[in-house]
Amino acid sequence: MALKFQYNKTYMQQLNRELKVRQNALPTLVAKESALRVEVAKAKETALELEGRIAKEHETLAATNRLWLEMPEDLVKVGKVDVNVKKIAGVKTPVLDKIDFVISRYSLLAESSWIPEGVEILKRFAELKITLELAKKKVAILEYARKKTTQKVNLYEKVQIPEYKEAVRKIKRYMEDEDNLAKSSQKILKVKIAAEAA
């Protein structure tokens, strides 16, 4: 969409103000974009690391699959997950604070001796899974913010700033031409008046 303006001083001042706002905002947006790029890379790396840890945990527990059949169902449940918000380059991202687990009552005498350790393994595994989900959500949020910031940088850099500069230049030229025409008209009028007087 082309920039609409009128050929007068008021519009030129308004365009200059808007141009200045965009030129002042551009370095901040570029810095934000590069910070978000770095944070996206870190968040992706964290998510990959968590996926690797979960895969290792699966491998470790693969040998004990039969034992898990002995564990009572619904022994360990995730109760409350507290998530805080951390701002990264002005973008709110989720950070795991703590997880409350609900552990059903069980008899240490009636159940297998490994059940308390199994409960701890399940808690650790659930915490890893929840942390991974939050890490993926963080990646998605940061990616979206980076994409939007990149779009805004491109809009300012490649579209709006050049358009505003061009519009200001056109208004200046028009006003200079008007001024030159007025001066020329005055000179012609003076010459005519002088010729008539003589």
Q: What is the pLDDT of residue 177?
A: 87
Number of domains present in the structure of the chain: 1
Expressed as residue numbers, the domain containing 78 is 9-186
Q: What is the pLDDT of residue 28?
A: 93
Q: What is the pLDDT of residue 5?
A: 77
Q: What is the pLDDT of residue 107?
A: 67
Asked if residue 48 is part of any domain, the answer here is: yes
Q: pLDDT of the chain along its 198 residues, tens only?
A: 577 878 888 888 999 999 999 999 999 999 999 999 999 999 999 999 999 999 998 888 877 777 767 777 788 888 899 999 999 988 999 999 999 988 887 666 666 677 788 888 888 988 999 999 999 999 999 999 999 999 999 999 999 999 999 999 998 999 888 888 888 888 888 888 888 876
Asked if residue 1 is part of any domain, the answer here is: no
Helix/strand/coil (H/E/C) assignment for every residue in the chain? CCCCCCCCHHHHHHHHHHHHHHHHHHHHHHHHHHHHHHHHHHHHHHHHHHHHHHHHHHHHHHCCHHHHCCCCCCCEEEEEEEEEEEEECCEEEEEEEEEEEEECCCCCCCCCCCHHHHHHHHHHHHHHHHHHHHHHHHHHHHHHHHHHHHHHHHHHHHHHHHHHHHHHHHHHHHHHHHHHHHHHHHHHHHHHHHHHHC
Asked if residue 97 is part of any domain, the answer here is: yes
pTM of the complete model: 0.78
Q: Domain containing 89 — which CATH number?
A: 1.10.287.3240
Q: What is the pLDDT of residue 27?
A: 95
Q: What is the pLDDT of residue 1?
A: 57
Q: What is the pLDDT of residue 87?
A: 93
Asked if residue 195 is part of any domain, the answer here is: no
